[in-house]
Amino acid sequence: MPAPPKCIHIYTKKNTRTIRSKVEELSALFKRRGLLYQAVTGDKRPSEYPDIVFVLGGDGTFLSASYLYSPRAVPLFGVDLGGLGFLSETSLEDLDNVTEQVLSGEYFLEERMLAHCRIIQKDGTEETDFALNDIVLYRGPLAQMIRLTTSIDGEHLASFPADGMIVATPTGSTAYSLSAGGPVIHPGMELFIINPICAHTLYARSIIAPPSSTVEITLDSAKEGTMVTIDGVRGRQLNKGDHIIVNKSPFSARMVRLKTGKPFYSFLRSKLSWGMDIRKKVD
């Protein structure tokens, strides 16, 4: 069981009345307990790192928190204020009931694989980033296809005329990749999902590759606004000849899981309404 936290960050991105109220409540509680705490907003990396982060918001907020804190292995405790909340561990309504569990160290940590991304321009300029969910190459606002050549471990896979390409982690299998027809993967696994978006060919299917793989995607053609996005919260424009190289990140995201929390498949059923019979009852 982890040691009870002594220093806590409360991370938010929006400034709604509900969020402000909950930040004030948590701050008052932490103060009464004699804990160090700080409210953090935005995308600037903190100068000091806590023992744990309470993330208040939706999945987008959690992805931003992962970008700031995962390189330092800081555990993230997600509190859902969004529309779906796949990455959160508890709801705002249940937060009061479970906060004491977290402060007492009554939780366990779940390691989630991250994808490391190198964005290499045609002139050799290079940027790096990492993703908890996915790295997505997309055609941009115009309804015209682009062509992407994809290889795995140096072996040519295919050249896809498509709207784009997704390279997702198991955590990201329930995000954009799911909408594009990809499989649902248990988040405890380590692998890559390579998933074309609306490919104009009958042979395009999702490919599952081991975590040791190097996935390389070269942009053979580009349209105005063609981009690569990282977890849907960071991105940059791409041009013809640019390429993306994806590997497993050397570090992982650490997510707080409550012993009283829902198992993955139960969580999946509730979020996606699997098994729900919407037909009218007939006598």
pLDDT digits (tens, 9 = 90+) for 62-88: 999 999 999 999 999 999 987 777 899
The more confident residue out of 46 and 51 is 51
One of 43, 59, 94, 283 is an active-site residue; which one? 59
Question: What does the alpha-carbon distance between residue 10 and residue 19 come to, in Å, rounded to a whole number?
Answer: 10
Residue 283 has pLDDT above 80, yes or no: no
Would you state the structure tokens that stand for residue 213, as one six-digit string? 């793989």
Residue 42 has pLDDT above 60, yes or no: yes
Q: 94-115 pLDDT, tens per residue?
A: 898 899 999 999 999 999 999 9
Q: 163-182 pLDDT, tens per residue?
A: 999 999 999 999 999 999 99
The more confident residue out of 84 and 193 is 193
The more confident residue out of 43 and 209 is 209
Position 142 scores a pLDDT of 79
Question: What does the alpha-carbon distance between residue 225 and residue 238 come to, in Å, rounded to a whole number?
Answer: 8
DSSP state of 254: E
Residue 278 has pLDDT above 60, yes or no: no
Residue 282 has pLDDT above 60, yes or no: no
Residue 277 has pLDDT above 80, yes or no: no
Position 5 scores a pLDDT of 95
Question: What does the alpha-carbon distance between residue 273 and residue 132 come to, in Å, rounded to a whole number?
Answer: 24
Report the candidate in 140, 121, 129, 200 with the shortest Cα–Cα distance to residue 167. 129
Residue 27 has pLDDT above 70, yes or no: yes
Residue 43 has pLDDT above 90, yes or no: no
Question: What does the alpha-carbon distance between residue 67 and residue 86 come to, in Å, rounded to a whole number?
Answer: 17
pLDDT above 90: percentage of residues in the chain: 76
59 is catalytic: yes
Position 153 scores a pLDDT of 98
Position 47 scores a pLDDT of 87
Position 236 scores a pLDDT of 93
Report the candidate in 214, 225, 228, 239 with the shortest Cα–Cα distance to residue 123. 239
Question: What does the alpha-carbon distance between residue 169 and residue 247 come to, in Å, rounded to a whole number?
Answer: 11
Position 265 scores a pLDDT of 84
The more confident residue out of 243 and 42 is 243
HEC readout, 12-76: ECCCCHHHHHHHHHHHHHHHHCCCEEEEEECCCCCCCCCCEEEEEECHHHHHHHHHHHHHHCCCE
pTM (predicted TM-score): 0.92
Q: 194-231 pLDDT, tens per residue?
A: 999 999 988 889 999 999 999 999 999 988 899 999 99
Residue carrying structure tokens 């999702």: 206
**Confidence label for 267 from pLDDT (cuts 50, 70 and 90):** confident
**Domains in the chain and their CATH numbers?**
7-113+252-272 (3.40.50.10330), 115-248 (2.60.200.30)
